[in-house]
Amino acid sequence: MRVIVMPPFDREFFGGTDRFEITGRTLFGVVNRLEELGPGFADLADVRAAFAVDGVVQADWSVPLEGVQEVVVMQKVAGG
């Protein structure tokens, strides 16, 4: 599964690398794997990150990712 990490997380946690091949049964698994690659990411992920799974923003991290091609990790957008 391709995981694309959008700014600012790519530079903040992954040394500027923004693409990974990761296996994970759920987004919890993806976040755990990203934590191994970029320590500190998991602590902030639920507060600062949103996840698009094959183009659809997914709030439930426990949804199975079987057959998923791509997860995009992006920053949540603030609102007023």
Partner 1 sequence: MNAPEPKDAFKVVGTRPIRPDGVDKVTGKAIFGTDYKAANMLAGAIVRCPHPHARIKSIDTSKAEAVAGVKAVVTGADFPSVEDTIVRMGETSASTVDMAQNVMARDVAYYDGHPVAAVAAISQEAADEAAALIVVEYEQLPYHIDINESFKLDAPAINPNLKATGLAEGEKVSPNVTTKFPYAKGDADAALAGAAATVTAHYTLKPVHQGYIEPHACVVSWKPDGKIDIWCSSQGAFNIRGLTASFLHVDIGSIRVMPLEIGGGFGGKNSVYLEPVAALLSKKSGRPVRLLMSRSDVFRASGPAPGAEIDVTLGADAQGNLVGAKVEFVYSAGAFRGTDAMPGVMHAICHYKVPDFSLIGWEVLTNMPKHAAYRAPGAPQVNFAVECALNELADKLGIDPIEIRLKNAVGPGDPGMMGAPLGNVGLIECLEAAKAHPHYTAPLGEGQARAVACGSWMNYGGPSTASVSLAEDGSVLVATGSPDIGGSRASMAIMASETLGVPYEQINVVVADTSSVGFSMVTGGSRTTYATGIAVIDAANAVIDICKQRAAKMLDVDVSTIEWIDGEAVETGNGKRLSLRQIAEKSGATGGPISFEKGVSPLQHLPGYSAQICDVEVDRETGNVSVVRYTVVQDVGRAIHPAYVEGQMQGGAVQGIGWALNEAYIYNKDGRLDNAGFLDYRIPVASDMPMIDTVMIEKANPGHPYGVKGVGEVPIVPPLAAVATAVGNAIGKRMRDLPISPERVYAALNEG
Q: Contact positions toward partner 1, by CB under 8 A? A: 4, 6-8, 11-12, 15-16, 44, 47-48, 50, 52, 55-60, 72, 74-80
d(CA 17, CA 36): 14
d(CA 19, CA 74): 13
Cβ nearer to partner 1, comparing 37 with 72: 72
d(CA 66, CA 80): 36
Report the nearest approach of partner 1 to the CB of residue 52 (Å): 5
Report the nearest approach of partner 1 to the CB of residue 60 (Å): 8
**Sequence letter at residue 35:** E
